[in-house]
A and B are shown apart, each in its own frame.
Chain A
């Protein structure tokens, strides 16, 4: 295909590894908050808060006018110019709420701070199902937002699919389950939680595999020229190694194989570590591959 004006999104909009890491951290914190409702443990609370802070620092550092953020917010409030149509605006709102909720949960999990009477409200909230339901909802919507952020960028046809928010939720859930497996190895989760995580993780791996292959297949077969070029880069082009080895091999098939082995022969902690780390890496590779594969629709063929 002779495409004269093939421009990589990463070369002009510069959404590459730093944004992939941001999406990864937001997904981990987001679906981690859902897991926290069922598994109220301090290490999980600290991981959620840490992920969110690192993710936000990454995305702010990516802004070419980060120093203008306070001025922008000031004028946006004074002139009420907020764009309610924009998923990035909703991202600011959702991530702000999520950050506040996760800070409360972290406060409640620092035993030393609970000595101070004026901070005990955090522990009260941390025991409220309603509050934790709100925390889980904020996390879930943060993950959903991180998908819509990409899929509504109309300039990159590969991303313009409803599959991305769904794929992001599934893969972020895989990452959360991997985190729980790591916690089990470190002694921060019990046998029951690890066993549930293992089965859930295997189901999610299968769903993630299906969603990744569907994403590539649909773009390759019925997508526009720009979507097809992006999918070709993932399927057989310069990003094929990252897709087949990173996303599918390391990120899905290896944890799935270890899961089957564990069900048949019992838990082996070193194998669980390999499974969890590879699943976490695979989720990052997925975000990076999808971002890097984006190209604009060629205007001249």
Chain B
């Protein structure tokens, strides 16, 4: 269900990634593609130089020489630039607070791709749609009261998904208990992808 301007979502679904628990096995990335875009298995997103998936793995080395890794995906921003820039309203907020796309209204201008500060969208080479988390198959899982594919596939319980408006949800409990951060906090996008920094 599409939210109208000024309307508040009934739920605010959010993703959590616990970087301390994550073993960087890549199961979430594979599960995402296998579930939402199986035709893209073994096909590369050329701009990212990695598997075409709604989750992107970014590796680096800190100035002290320590390896570091980030799993990046759509942040389902409450103030999403992609929603503001889409000319025909193809990108919208649904009543769960998620940023979704209506394929009927998309012309493939890639303005949402260029507008996303997190660089999480990729253009599907077959249908020309700008893809990102959550894929259609994961939205169906959520509608059926299941967790998204990445959460189900994670062997280290490093991922979670739920309603941050509900104080009793597992994500709310984790965010209350453990230190966490969001990406590009100063961008004003109010991201809803939380990176938890401690395992206990």
**CB within 8 Å of B: which residues of A?**
2-5, 7-9, 11-15, 62-66, 68-69, 71-73, 75-76, 79, 81-83, 85-89, 91-92, 149, 152-156, 294, 296-297, 299-301
Further pairs besides A72-B105, A83-B88, A154-B116: 5, Cβ < 8 Å: A14-B123, A68-B107, A75-B104, A75-B105, A152-B115
Nearest CB on B from A222, distance (A)? 14
Q: A88-B87, A154-B187, A299-B58 are in contact. Are A15 and B105 (CB under 8 A)?
A: no
Produce 1/0 per residue, B66-93, CB < 8 A to A: 0010101000000001001111111000
Residues of B within 8 Å of A15, CB to CB, are 110, 114
Is B109 close to A, CB under 8 A? yes
Q: Are B107 and A66 in contact (CB under 8 A)?
A: yes
Residues of A within 8 Å of B128, CB to CB, are 63-65
Q: Which residue of A lies closest to B61 (CB)?
A: A2
Q: Are B85 and A86 in contact (CB under 8 A)?
A: yes
Q: Which residue of B lies closest to A3 (CB)?
A: B60
In-complex Cβ contact of B115 among A11, A82, A153 (8 A): A153
Residues of B within 8 Å of A87, CB to CB, are 85
Residues of A within 8 Å of B123, CB to CB, are 12, 14, 64
Nearest CB on A from B105, distance (A)? 5
Nearest CB on B from A150, distance (A)? 9
Q: Are A299 and B90 in contact (CB under 8 A)?
A: no
Residues of A within 8 Å of B107, CB to CB, are 63, 65-66, 68-69, 72
Given the complex of chains A and B, what is the CA–CA distance between A210 and B70 in angstroms? 40
Residues of A within 8 Å of B117, CB to CB, are 154-155, 296-297
**What's the dominant secondary structure at chain B's contact region?**
loop
Given the complex of chains A and B, what is the CA–CA distance between A208 and B103 in angstroms? 41
Q: Are A300 and B68 in contact (CB under 8 A)?
A: yes
Given the complex of chains A and B, what is the CA–CA distance between A204 and B98 in angstroms? 47
Q: Are B60 and A2 in contact (CB under 8 A)?
A: yes
Q: Are A88 and B105 in contact (CB under 8 A)?
A: no
Q: Are A301 and B60 in contact (CB under 8 A)?
A: yes
Q: A64-B123, A75-B105, A296-B117 are in contact. Are A4 and B85 (CB under 8 A)?
A: no
Q: A12-B119, A83-B86, A299-B70 are in contact. Are A66 and B108 (CB under 8 A)?
A: yes
Q: Are A12 and B47 in contact (CB under 8 A)?
A: yes
- 12 examples of A-B residue contacts, CB within 8 angstroms: A2-B60, A15-B114, A66-B107, A66-B108, A72-B106, A81-B89, A82-B88, A83-B84, A83-B86, A85-B85, A149-B111, A154-B85
In-complex Cβ contact of B60 among A72, A85, A300 (8 A): A300
Q: Are B114 and A65 in contact (CB under 8 A)?
A: no
Nearest CB on B from A5, distance (A)? 4
Is B46 close to A, CB under 8 A? yes
Q: Are B105 and A76 in contact (CB under 8 A)?
A: yes
Q: Are A155 and B88 in contact (CB under 8 A)?
A: no
In-complex Cβ contact of A83 among B61, B70, B87, B110 (8 A): B87
Residues of B within 8 Å of A86, CB to CB, are 84-87, 111
Nearest CB on B from A3, distance (A)? 8
Scoring A66, A153, A155 by chain B CB atoms within 10 A of each residue's CB, the highest score goes to A155
Given the complex of chains A and B, what is the CA–CA distance between A92 and B183 in angstroms? 33
Residues of A within 8 Å of B129, CB to CB, are 64-65
Nearest CB on B from A287, distance (A)? 15
